[in-house]
Amino acid sequence: MAYEISVFLENRITHFEKITGILKTENINIRSVSLNSVLHGWGVLHMLVNKPEKAYQLLSERGSAVVLREVIALEMKDEAGGLDELLVKISRAGIHIERADSRLISESGMAVLILEVADVLEAKRRLEINNVHLLDDDVVYGK
C-alpha cells in the first residue's frame, strides 16, 4: 500500500527548503517529488517518501498543512511506449486518473507510475481483475 504526502506551501525556496530540511534531519528519503503551482504564490508539494506516516506526523507537528493519501504504484516499462502500454491497461480497467507522477528506480532500471484516483479500493480491484500488478512497499519505498 503506497502513501503520498502533499504539503500546501508558499512558492518560496525557503518554505520548500524548510520541508526538505525537516525530512533530512529525520532521515526520511524523498523518493519522488512534484511541485504544482496553485495560485497567487501558493502551491502543493507532492512527495513519495520512505516513511510516509512519520513524515506526515513530523510535518503536521511543525505547523505544515499536510495530507497523507493512499496512491497506486504500478510498474511501467522504461522504454518507448511503456507509459502508453500501461495506460491502455488502466483505461480498459475503467479507472479515471486524477493525478499522475512517475519516477525511475536507478538500481533496477524500473519505471514507476504513481496514480491518484478517487476510489483506491475499487481501482485496485479493477486492476487485479485486469492482471495489472501493484508494486509492493519494498519497491515503492526502497526498503
One-letter amino acid at 50 equals N
What are the boundaries of each domain within the chain? 2-70, 71-141
Q: Which of 46-50, 66-70, 88-92, 136-140 comes out lowest in average pLDDT?
A: 136-140
Residue 52 bridge partners (DSSP): none
| pLDDT band of 142, cuts 50, 70, 90 | confident
pLDDT at 70: 94
pLDDT at 55: 96
In angstroms, rounded to a whole number, what is the distance separating the alpha carbons of residues 36 and 46? 8
Domain 71-141 in this protein, CATH class: alpha beta
Instruction: Return the closest-CA partner of residue 53 out of 70, 75, 77, 34.
Output: 70
**pLDDT tens for residues 79-105?**
889 899 999 999 999 999 999 988 877
pLDDT at 107: 65
In angstroms, rounded to a whole number, what is the distance separating the alpha carbons of residues 21 and 17? 6
**pLDDT tens for residues 9-62?**
887 778 888 999 999 999 999 988 888 877 777 889 999 999 999 999 999 999
- Mean pLDDT computed over 62-90: 92
pLDDT of 143 over the 70 cut: no
pLDDT at 85: 94
Give CATH for domain 2-70.
Answer: 3.30.2130.10
Instruction: Return the closest-CA partner of residue 136 out of 47, 74, 56.
Output: 74
pLDDT at 35: 85
pLDDT of 133 over the 90 cut: no
Unique residue bearing C-alpha cell 517518501: 49
In angstroms, rounded to a whole number, what is the distance separating the alpha carbons of residues 17 and 11? 11
pLDDT at 49: 93
